[in-house]
Chains A and B, each alone.
Chain A
Amino acid sequence: MSEQTTNPVGKSVPRVDAYDKVTGAAAFTDDLQFGPGLLFGRAVRSPYPHALIKRLDVGPALELRGVKAVVTGADTPGFIGLYLKDRHIFCTDRVRYVGDPVAGVVAASEEIAEEAARRVVVEYEELPAVLDPLQAIQPDAPLLHPDLGSYDVVPFIFPQPGTNISNVFRVRKGDVEGAWAQCDAVVADTYRVPHIQHVPIEPHVAIARWDLSGEVTLWSSTQSPFAQRDLIAHTLGISQGDMRVIGNYIGGGFGSKAGVSMEALAVAMARQVPGRPVKVRMTREEEFYCCFVRQGLVARVKIGGTKEGRILALQVEYYWDAGAYTEYGVNITRAAGYSSTGPYNIPNVKTDSYCLYTNHPVGGPMRGFGMPEIHWSIEQSVDQLAEALAIDPVAFRQRNCVQGGDVIVTGMTMHPHGLSECIERVAQRIDWGKKEVPSAPHKRRGKGVAACWKAPAMPPNPGSEAWVRFNEDATVSVGVGGQELGQGAFTVAAQVAAEALGIPYEWVRIANPVDTKYSPYEWQTVASRITWSMGNAVKAAAEDARRQILEIVARYWDQDPGDLDIRGGEVVSSKSEQSLSLRNLVVYGLPLPDDQGWIGGPIIGRGKFMPTYVTGLDPETGQGARAVVHYTTGAQAAEVEVDLETGRVELLCIAAAYDVGKAINPEQVHAQLEGGVVQGASSALLEALTFQDGRPVNASFVDYRIMTAVDAPQRILTDFVEVPQDDGPWGARGVGEHPMIATAPAIANAIYDALGIRFNDLPLTAEKIYLALQGA
């Protein structure tokens, strides 16, 4: 406790988890020890993209020495799913993607479990597969979910029984048809985004144990301990009170560890061997297509504007390749619809966003939740329109970008925000408008810009809860249910608690790991919502504790609590100039004069936050008073150099600026922006999970290339603007996902500037660029 950082909000204090992570002391889920009783589970997986299960014989697996149990779909008849309950834990009659689990084997070792899994006999009858979203939407396409109409679904998702459409979101605003005639230029194009994967450094892992008492414990590498508790308990008929999820540190999530993917397998397997913990972990290959992938997208965009530089009309159709089941896909489709204009004020909008079942891996949430995918098309279309109107792309964006007070695409009034300033800053930082000289005659340079917005995409009422509990020496434990994925959530929680209590940052301890049995509730660590929502809950809990302390001391001093404050860990009175250390009083209370008893006692503050103002939207028009809690906006600019002889793109510089409302920890904001830019650049230039007849062909790091340090942009210039959010802690709003949204289109726009060639399909591999140059 040598350092004493008072008022830490806005300061780049070191991370609370830095020491443990640097020294290797931090425990990740697979590090946990369970002793000799630990069993291992492996899944039997479908080799077909679409087939009926005709026969299943687990006998040969059970004969193997060391095998404890085999579980099949017959043991898990219920449905599971976050928004739309459309899948079984183990398939019952039908498999819908290569990798779909049909059975699970529990054995004394992972090797035996694997060997036994290979002995399970499954006979399939192959069915025609749907491998493209445009095929999925055809009336004669094979149906993946004939029972779609009977699935449980939340009220704001609209499955279309008898089709492969699991959700549709429409916007009808203004008069698009009438507006085209008033446009001086209209451009239309189709863009494609492939499946990519989150590739967290730590693959998914879960350990489950059913105690004979009926308590079920799941240790998992998860962004969503509480959602896992709720969903798995619901499906397996466990009381939420008996289901306990413990989430240790996470080696990267990026959305892949949100909701439930493979964790339910472990719980279903453990049910067969009461009292014994069962560990299931994904191989890297399984990670690529047995958990979640980012959804694919085909986007058709038509956009028109006037020569004065106003965007008048936008018509988009989004066809989401959501894969075999949806967990989150239906809501990504919705978010894409209600954000379909990008951060622009467009009076006439027609949007149809379709979530389509295909026989691809399950599409899940991935950093940006649909926004990187749609901005790929929006931000290139905006550039195309600017060019058609002969207007500079930066000026064009400035003229059209949404302002505080504007009524946006869903009818909601936009809150104040700093997008214009973000655009201006990134343009400045890459010397927008200045032509650069290439480093060699066979190279070309270009610059591009892209703006973006994203709202937390979630149900209207996701809650956060927190507690703040004092120890004798006035250090505090802060209980949170949000997860530390590497993004710095625990550090922010500690800063918020310290600031609101009036104690030094170094006095705060985060009560981790998150354990649903002891930790306060948190909906999920997704949607860039934690700093904002959990931050509000922690702040409220700290203020609650602070109030309790001040009331006690006020009584002790016989003063008005309003005259007291806590500063640097001491209660001070502005009236009497007395001061009192928090030590001991926060646990033992204070004695009354003349030995007349005691007041106070252990201090524990509680707080919560839940948005209460989000309204529904009309299913036909997408209009409503308030679609979302808020939008975080920002912009990126890229400078690239393309080698004409190889097609390789060198990322010379990427500038990124976002309006974070308030940077609780500026260094963490910069780090988040850098990380997002690199992940965005990797998705721009390299990443695609590719399939042959529905089978992934590059599901390993041999052939799924991701950006390395030497491939990353040579310079990443990060910046933030602070226009406060009215209901954020000190004005903060989230920025976890946003840094990846604008990167790919900014790079594509820069490549267009360099080569005059527009690329509609990700990724922009050297080969694709080279071959296009030959065709040009």
Chain B
Amino acid sequence: MLARPGLVSFDYVRARTPGEVVQLLAEHGADARLMMGGTDLLVRIRDGAVRPRLVVDLKHLPGMRDILYQQQAGLTVGAAVTMNQLARHPAVVAHYPLLAQAANSVASYPLRNRATIGGNLCNASPCADTAPPSYVLAGRIVVHGSAGEQEVAIADFFRGPGQTVLQPGQFVTAIRFPPSPAAASGRYLKLGRNKAGDLAIVSVAVLGFPDASAPSGYRFRIALGAVAPVVLRVPAAEEWLAHHPPGAETFARAADLAAAAASPIDDVRASADYRRAMVRTLTRRGLNAVADTIAAPTGSA
């Protein structure tokens, strides 16, 4: 059925404290939905995919829109930090450029003023742009619930398309990233059907850094978006890269391994065959680009 011309009615509460959120969720259960920018939620309400009676706006909770960076502790990004905020924050640009690249690749400038990193991750779309970088940067999701706060590793957070480990009553307040490995370099490569504004049909995040404990002298982390129900790390390729000297041949082989690991589907955006092939292309390009910048003497992460 066609989408509605507007939204069905619902009640809207702008929450002031985490406690209020917990209480509202306990009271309303599945009838309540959490919202930050609303760029996923409101679209789904209009499409009729969800029909909440109550929408609880979390983005005004204390600290939700803060970005904190400390050399030792790393980066804490409030869940309601917008993509534009993230893409321009000096500490993010300096120490986690991969994250800034991904944030900047989302949709269009006006949308990035509303879209948040927390919403992007909680929405759990396989093509969410901040997800693959969060994997290679070892992000941890800060979850608030009735029992207080806990952290979940990003790799344990997603359960499938649109599904996370969040339990009823829980919500996300921040994402933490440990300090990047020394001299690390990262690349986020996103392929859409056109150059701007599209959802990823394939995306690849690559992080590389010197590591004396690796036989090759380097470690690489690779995460793939939009080619499996959840973001995929590619251990086989990462292993290969740890054991073989960096260079075109090694990267090509690693890209093949990444392509083999992907389990893409055919859909209206692209065929599985094309997606798999693009995993190869993007992984190889990402590795080459990262290798170039790690090798550069002045290169910092």
Interfacial residues of chain A within 683-708, with CB under 8 A of chain B in the complex: 685-686, 690, 697-698, 700, 702-703, 705-708
| A47 touches which of B1, B193, B274 (Cβ 8 Å) | B1
Q: Nearest Cβ in chain B — how far from A648, in angstroms? A: 8
A114 to B4, Cβ gap below 8 A? yes
A397 an interface residue at 8 Å Cβ cutoff? no
A189 an interface residue at 8 Å Cβ cutoff? no
* Chain B residue at smallest Cβ distance from A47: B1
A111 an interface residue at 8 Å Cβ cutoff? yes
Stretch at the interface among A56-64, A74-82, A369-377, A765-773: A765-773
Once the chains are docked, how many angstroms separate the CA of A183 from the CA of B300?
A: 67
A686 to B270, Cβ gap below 8 A? no
Once the chains are docked, how many angstroms separate the CA of A634 from the CA of B210?
A: 59
B271 an interface residue at 8 Å Cβ cutoff? yes
Query: Interface readout for A347-373 with B: 1 if CB under 8 Å, 0 if not?
Result: 000000000000000000000000000
Main secondary structure of the interface of A (DSSP, over half): loop
B residues within 8 A CB of A767? 193, 270-271, 274
Query: Interface readout for A69-113 with B: 1 if CB under 8 Å, 0 if not?
Result: 000000000000000000000000000000100000000001100
B residues within 8 A CB of A685? 194
A711 an interface residue at 8 Å Cβ cutoff? yes
B296 an interface residue at 8 Å Cβ cutoff? no
B198 to A705, Cβ gap below 8 A? yes
B58 an interface residue at 8 Å Cβ cutoff? no
* Chain A residue at smallest Cβ distance from B108: A708
B249 an interface residue at 8 Å Cβ cutoff? no
B195 to A646, Cβ gap below 8 A? no
A residues within 8 A CB of B183? none
B2 to A705, Cβ gap below 8 A? no
| B3 touches which of A42, A110, A285, A766 (Cβ 8 Å) | A285
Query: Interface readout for A109-131 with B: 1 if CB under 8 Å, 0 if not?
Result: 01100110010000000000000
B5 to A110, Cβ gap below 8 A? yes
B8 an interface residue at 8 Å Cβ cutoff? yes
Interfacial residues of chain B within 185-231, with CB under 8 A of chain A in the complex: 191-199
Once the chains are docked, how many angstroms separate the CA of A356 from the CA of B3?
A: 30
B277 an interface residue at 8 Å Cβ cutoff? yes
Which has the most chain A C-beta neighbours within 10 Å: B2, B278, B285?
B2
| Given the contacts A42-B5, A286-B2, A686-B193, A702 and B274 also touching, CB distance less than 8 Å | no
A710 an interface residue at 8 Å Cβ cutoff? yes
A residues within 8 A CB of B8? 111, 115
A662 an interface residue at 8 Å Cβ cutoff? no
A281 an interface residue at 8 Å Cβ cutoff? yes
Once the chains are docked, how many angstroms separate the CA of A110 from the CA of B8?
A: 11
Main secondary structure of the interface of B (DSSP, over half): loop
A281 to B5, Cβ gap below 8 A? yes
A645 an interface residue at 8 Å Cβ cutoff? yes
Q: Nearest Cβ in chain B — how far from A12, in angstroms? A: 31
B residues within 8 A CB of A686? 193-194
A residues within 8 A CB of B4? 111, 114, 283
Interfacial residues of chain B within 3-52, with CB under 8 A of chain A in the complex: 3-6, 8-9
A774 an interface residue at 8 Å Cβ cutoff? yes
Once the chains are docked, how many angstroms separate the CA of A647 from the CA of B270?
A: 13
B281 an interface residue at 8 Å Cβ cutoff? yes
Once the chains are docked, how many angstroms separate the CA of A633 from the CA of B281?
A: 43
B191 to A646, Cβ gap below 8 A? yes
Q: Nearest Cβ in chain A — how far from B45, in angstroms? A: 13
B residues within 8 A CB of A286? 2
B268 to A698, Cβ gap below 8 A? yes
Once the chains are docked, how many angstroms separate the CA of A711 from the CA of B273?
A: 24
* Chain B residue at smallest Cβ distance from A692: B268
B residues within 8 A CB of A702? 199
B269 an interface residue at 8 Å Cβ cutoff? yes
Q: Nearest Cβ in chain B — how far from A694, in angstroms? A: 15
* Chain B residue at smallest Cβ distance from A768: B274
Give the size range of A's interface with the partner.
35 or more
Query: Interface readout for A616-649 with B: 1 if CB under 8 Å, 0 if not?
Result: 0000000000000000000000000000011100
| Given the contacts A645-B281, A690-B268, A767-B270, A114 and B195 also touching, CB distance less than 8 Å | no
| A114 touches which of B5, B193, B196, B269 (Cβ 8 Å) | B5
A residues within 8 A CB of B273? 771
| Given the contacts A111-B8, A285-B2, A767-B270, A646 and B281 also touching, CB distance less than 8 Å | yes
A residues within 8 A CB of B197? 708
Query: Interface readout for A704-742 with B: 1 if CB under 8 Å, 0 if not?
Result: 011111110000000000000000000000000000000
* Chain B residue at smallest Cβ distance from A42: B5
A229 an interface residue at 8 Å Cβ cutoff? no
B271 to A283, Cβ gap below 8 A? no
B residues within 8 A CB of A111? 4-6, 8-9
| Given the contacts A770-B277, A771-B274, A708 and B193 also touching, CB distance less than 8 Å | no
Query: Interface readout for A735-776 with B: 1 if CB under 8 Å, 0 if not?
Result: 000000000000000000000000000000111001100100
B residues within 8 A CB of A705? 192-194, 198
Once the chains are docked, how many angstroms separate the CA of A774 from the CA of B278?
A: 13
B195 to A711, Cβ gap below 8 A? yes
Once the chains are docked, how many angstroms separate the CA of A708 from the CA of B195?
A: 8
Once the chains are docked, how many angstroms separate the CA of A698 from the CA of B193?
A: 13
B residues within 8 A CB of A45? 2
A283 to B2, Cβ gap below 8 A? yes
* Chain A residue at smallest Cβ distance from B285: A645
Interfacial residues of chain B within 244-299, with CB under 8 A of chain A in the complex: 268-271, 273-274, 277-278, 281, 285
| Given the contacts A686-B194, A765-B193, A283 and B5 also touching, CB distance less than 8 Å | yes
Query: Interface readout for A582-612 with B: 1 if CB under 8 Å, 0 if not?
Result: 0000000000000000000000000000000
Once the chains are docked, how many angstroms separate the CA of A765 from the CA of B269?
A: 11
A residues within 8 A CB of B269? 703
Q: Nearest Cβ in chain A — how far from B10, in angstroms? A: 12
| Given the contacts A710-B196, A711-B194, A774 and B5 also touching, CB distance less than 8 Å | no
Q: Nearest Cβ in chain B — how far from A288, in angstroms? A: 10
A residues within 8 A CB of B278? 646, 770
Once the chains are docked, how many angstroms separate the CA of A285 from the CA of B274?
A: 27
B residues within 8 A CB of A690? 268
| Given the contacts A283-B5, A285-B3, A708 and B277 also touching, CB distance less than 8 Å | no
Interfacial residues of chain A within 20-59, with CB under 8 A of chain B in the complex: 42, 45, 47
B residues within 8 A CB of A697? 268
A283 to B3, Cβ gap below 8 A? yes
Query: Interface readout for A507-551 with B: 1 if CB under 8 Å, 0 if not?
Result: 000000000000000000000000000000000000000000000
A residues within 8 A CB of B192? 705
A residues within 8 A CB of B274? 647, 767, 770-771
Q: Nearest Cβ in chain A — how far from B127, in angstroms? A: 11
A residues within 8 A CB of B196? 708-711
Once the chains are docked, how many angstroms separate the CA of A690 from the CA of B270?
A: 13
Q: Nearest Cβ in chain B — how far from A713, in angstroms? A: 13
A residues within 8 A CB of B199? 702
Query: Interface readout for A166-198 with B: 1 if CB under 8 Å, 0 if not?
Result: 000000000000000000000000000000000
Once the chains are docked, how many angstroms separate the CA of A703 from the CA of B192?
A: 11
**Which B residues lie at the A interface, using CB under 8 A?**
1-6, 8-9, 191-199, 268-271, 273-274, 277-278, 281, 285
**Which A residues lie at the B interface, using CB under 8 A?**
42, 45, 47, 99, 110-111, 114-115, 118, 281, 283, 285-286, 645-647, 685-686, 690, 697-698, 700, 702-703, 705-711, 765-767, 770-771, 774
29 A-B pairs, CB-CB below 8 angstroms?
A45-B2, A111-B5, A111-B8, A111-B9, A114-B4, A118-B1, A283-B2, A283-B3, A283-B4, A285-B2, A286-B2, A645-B281, A646-B278, A646-B281, A685-B194, A690-B268, A698-B268, A700-B3, A705-B193, A708-B196, A708-B197, A709-B196, A766-B193, A767-B193, A767-B270, A770-B278, A771-B273, A771-B274, A774-B277
List 7 tightest A-B contacts by C-beta distance, closest first.
A767-B274, A645-B281, A708-B196, A710-B195, A711-B194, A705-B193, A710-B196
Not counting A702-B199, A709-B196, a sample of 11 additional A-B residue pairs whose C-beta atoms are within 8 angstroms of each other reads A110-B5, A111-B4, A281-B5, A283-B5, A285-B3, A645-B285, A646-B281, A697-B268, A703-B268, A771-B271, A771-B273
